[in-house]
Chain A
Amino acid sequence: MLRDALIQAGMNAGLATFLDILGGVLVAATFGMAWVLFGIWIERKVAARIQNRVGPNRVGPYGLIQNFADALKLLIKEVIVPRNADRPVYFLAPVLMVVSVILIAAVIPFSSVVIGTDLNIGLLYVLAVGSLGTLAVLMAGWGSNNKYALLGAFRAVAQLISYEVPMVLALLIPVMLAGSLSMQDLVRSQHVWFLFVAPIAAVLFLIAAHAENGRAPFDLLEAESELIAGYNIEYSGMAFAMFYLAEFMHAFFVAIVFSVLFLGGWRGPGAETYPILGMFYLGIKSMVVYFVTVWLRLTVPRVRIDHLLALNWKIMVPLALANVILTAFLFKLVPTPDYSAARAIAEGEFTGVASGLYRLLGPEFVAMLPLAGVLLVGNIALLVAAAALLRWLARRRRQEVEALVDETEYAPGVAAAE
């Protein structure tokens, strides 16, 4: 849009393209940064309410500008660099951390027309830049030359790379259903929200992405009680603020990506004709998802590292693999939805209940219903089977443990009577 206007104003085509790109980049990149200052306020307020506190309420109305005060404070703090640190690595780590998160914004479809750039491998790109964060954590831990930091970094790497596996496996399902990796295509093919078509994939993705972000209950990389602050222990001032910023931004982008992939992104009544409505819908959806992640973070206690890895490799990965096979099977079982036929019925003559239904609910929605229904039933069946299996395994394990316990030791009355 901007490019055409500039060319009409008599500008060089190459320069106009560049300015167009630059404008888009600046809007998309600063969006995350700007949002965070406000988002942290929301998160602190929610956290306060959950913990029966009031939260920030002194600086500005309702404490709204508390975060600006905090940012200013961090800006004028001394940046203390430990003598033994590996300086280039030490300073590159926070930058890389933020870069890995901001880059996700480039492919997020905020509405039918507002998107940085609709890459044809969009989702793969999101996964690729997201995993750069692991590298930043390792760099921070190693560069600090601190034992806590290093320990935190090792844990972080074990955790982050492990949870990448179920996350990517879960994301295969929307890709399979949409037949594309482009974010815009993924949104457009959700005539029925993928949350209802592939609930297991959605939940697996949410858990794995939450762990990937390293927030409680998966905050082992910065477990305060054991590792003080983990990988970012030696950082102060603005360098520390960048890690903090990256974490919040990541949490928010996880919510947006989840909404885009499973909650229909910008889809909603009238979103196709009025793109601004689409942005509004996406905002609402991602705020709901964001609230869920904050809620999780504040109410679930931290897990132990062996439990964390066992949950991933022994439960989530097998479940994700089974889910891929099941979805692939059911997808072939049900005939592919015929959208053009459905559209023809909806636009054709009114013949009765069927065509009325097509008009009322939208032809694509009705055409996708059989597939969605079968997949939903399949998902529920898989979930029930998995739960039964887990129950059986846990019961057997418990019996094994109970067999080892000497009962007489816990019944002193019986022993005394003998």
Chain B
Amino acid sequence: MDLSEWAFIGVFLAIAGILPAVPIVLGWLIGPRKPNPIKTDTYECGIETIGDAWVQFKVQYYVFALVFLVFDVEMVLLFPWAVAYGNLGLFAFVEVLIFIALLAVALVYVWRKGALEWT
């Protein structure tokens, strides 16, 4: 395998990190800096901030994340299949039919359970 392709990505990652970091640092250096307690307060519609924002959040988001996880993992497994599909026989089609049926059952289950309703 040719590793220079990935070397390119590596260098790219470094440059891509520098590109946005430079303006931010530059802005930090050029811009004025006169903090005061009211200015650096957390914004809350102009009134004084009450409490902390680092709270426990609604479980609903977590359920969506779980559903997503199932699909995402299965899709990673579908990509190799899609690449090789042209060279595979009818068996590959039957196999993927079962595979997607399993996914669909999962979706129906979640749907019937009411996890997709936003309450």
Task: Give the residue name and chain of the A residue nearest to B50 (CB).
Answer: A147
Q: How far is the CB of B83 from chain A (nearest CB, A)?
A: 6
**A70-118: which have CB < 8 Å to B?**
74-85, 91, 94-95, 97-99, 102-103, 106, 116-118
Q: Is the CB of A80 within 8 A of B35?
A: yes
Q: Is the CB of B30 within 8 A of A76?
A: yes
**In whole angstroms, what is the CA distance A80 to B36 when docked?**
10
Dominant SS among interface residues on chain B = helix
Q: Report if A17-B75 is in contact (Cβ < 8 Å); known contacts: A76-B31, A102-B19, A148-B43.
A: no
Contact of A95 among B4, B5, B24 (CB under 8 A): B24
The listed residue with most B CB atoms (<10 A of its CB), out of A106, A145, A239, is A106
Q: Is the CB of B75 within 8 A of A21?
A: no
Q: Is the CB of B16 within 8 A of A154?
A: no
Q: Which residues of B contact A286 (CB under 8 A)?
A: none
Task: Give the residue name and chain of the B residue nearest to A185 (CB).
Answer: B83
- The answer to whether A296 has its CB under 8 Å from any CB of chain B is no
Q: Report if A145-B75 is in contact (Cβ < 8 Å); known contacts: A78-B33, A158-B61.
A: no
Q: Is the CB of B64 within 8 A of A158?
A: yes
- The answer to whether A364 has its CB under 8 Å from any CB of chain B is no
Q: Report if A30-B27 is in contact (Cβ < 8 Å); known contacts: A21-B7, A161-B65, A234-B42.
A: no
Contact of A77 among B31, B34, B49 (CB under 8 A): B31
Q: How far is the CB of B37 from chain A (nearest CB, A)?
A: 8
Q: How far is the CB of B48 from chain A (nearest CB, A)?
A: 13
Contact of A328 among B15, B31, B37, B85 (CB under 8 A): B85
Q: Report if A237-B31 is in contact (Cβ < 8 Å); known contacts: A29-B16, A179-B83.
A: yes
Task: Give the residue name and chain of the B residue nearest to A82 (CB).
Answer: B42
Q: Report if A95-B21 is in contact (Cβ < 8 Å); known contacts: A25-B12, A154-B61, A172-B79.
A: yes
- The answer to whether A310 has its CB under 8 Å from any CB of chain B is yes
Dominant SS among interface residues on chain A = helix
Task: Give the residue name and chain of the B residue nearest to A331 (CB).
Answer: B85
Q: How far is the CB of A200 from chain B (nearest CB, A)?
A: 15
**In whole angstroms, what is the CA distance A82 to B49 when docked?**
12
Number of A residues, CB within 8 Å of B: 87
Q: Is the CB of B111 within 8 A of A78?
A: no
Q: Is the CB of B5 within 8 A of A118?
A: yes
Task: Give the residue name and chain of the A residue nearest to B119 (CB).
Answer: A306
Contact of B5 among A74, A117, A162, A314 (CB under 8 A): A117
**A154-189: which have CB < 8 Å to B?**
154, 157-158, 161-162, 164-165, 168-169, 172, 175-176, 179-181
Q: Which residues of B contact A172 (CB under 8 A)?
A: 75, 78-79, 82
Q: Which residues of A contact B83 (CB under 8 A)?
A: 175, 179-181
At the interface with chain B, which of A260-268, A273-281, A316-324?
A: A316-324
Q: Is the CB of A239 within 8 A of B24?
A: yes
- The answer to whether A135 has its CB under 8 Å from any CB of chain B is no
**B38-82: which have CB < 8 Å to A?**
39-45, 49, 52-55, 57-58, 60-61, 64-65, 67-68, 71-72, 75, 78-79, 82
The listed residue with most B CB atoms (<10 A of its CB), out of A18, A84, A164, is A84
Q: Report if A119-B5 is in contact (Cβ < 8 Å); known contacts: A82-B43, A172-B79.
A: yes
**In whole angstroms, what is the CA distance A175 to B76 when docked?**
13
**In whole angstroms, what is the CA distance A91 to B31 when docked?**
16
**In whole angstroms, what is the CA distance A309 to B15 when docked?**
36
Q: Is the CB of A145 within 8 A of B104?
A: no
Contact of A162 among B27, B28, B49, B64 (CB under 8 A): B64
Task: Give the residue name and chain of the A residue nearest to B85 (CB).
Answer: A176
Task: Give the residue name and chain of the A residue nearest to B88 (CB).
Answer: A332
Contact of B4 among A17, A154, A242 (CB under 8 A): A17
**In whole angstroms, what is the CA distance A336 to B86 when docked?**
8
Q: Is the CB of B27 within 8 A of A147?
A: no
Contact of B40 among A82, A146, A239, A324 (CB under 8 A): A82
- The answer to whether A233 has its CB under 8 Å from any CB of chain B is yes
Q: How far is the CB of B96 from chain A (nearest CB, A)?
A: 6
Q: Is the CB of A149 within 8 A of B58?
A: no
Q: Is the CB of A157 within 8 A of B61?
A: yes
Q: Is the CB of B20 within 8 A of A99?
A: yes
**In whole angstroms, what is the CA distance A74 to B27 when docked?**
8
Q: How far is the CB of A102 from chain B (nearest CB, A)?
A: 4
- The answer to whether A313 has its CB under 8 Å from any CB of chain B is yes
Q: Report if A162-B107 is in contact (Cβ < 8 Å); known contacts: A74-B27, A147-B44, A239-B24.
A: no
Q: List 12 A-B contacts (CB under 8 A).
A: A79-B33, A99-B13, A103-B13, A117-B5, A119-B6, A145-B53, A179-B87, A238-B23, A241-B27, A306-B117, A328-B96, A332-B90
List 17 additional A-B contacts (Cβ < 8 Å) besides A24-B8, A162-B68.
Answer: A21-B11, A76-B30, A77-B31, A82-B41, A95-B17, A117-B9, A118-B5, A148-B43, A154-B57, A169-B75, A172-B78, A176-B85, A181-B79, A228-B45, A238-B24, A238-B27, A328-B85
Across the A-B interface, give the 5 residue pairs with the lowest CB-CB distance, nearest first. Answer: A238-B27, A306-B118, A98-B20, A117-B8, A102-B16
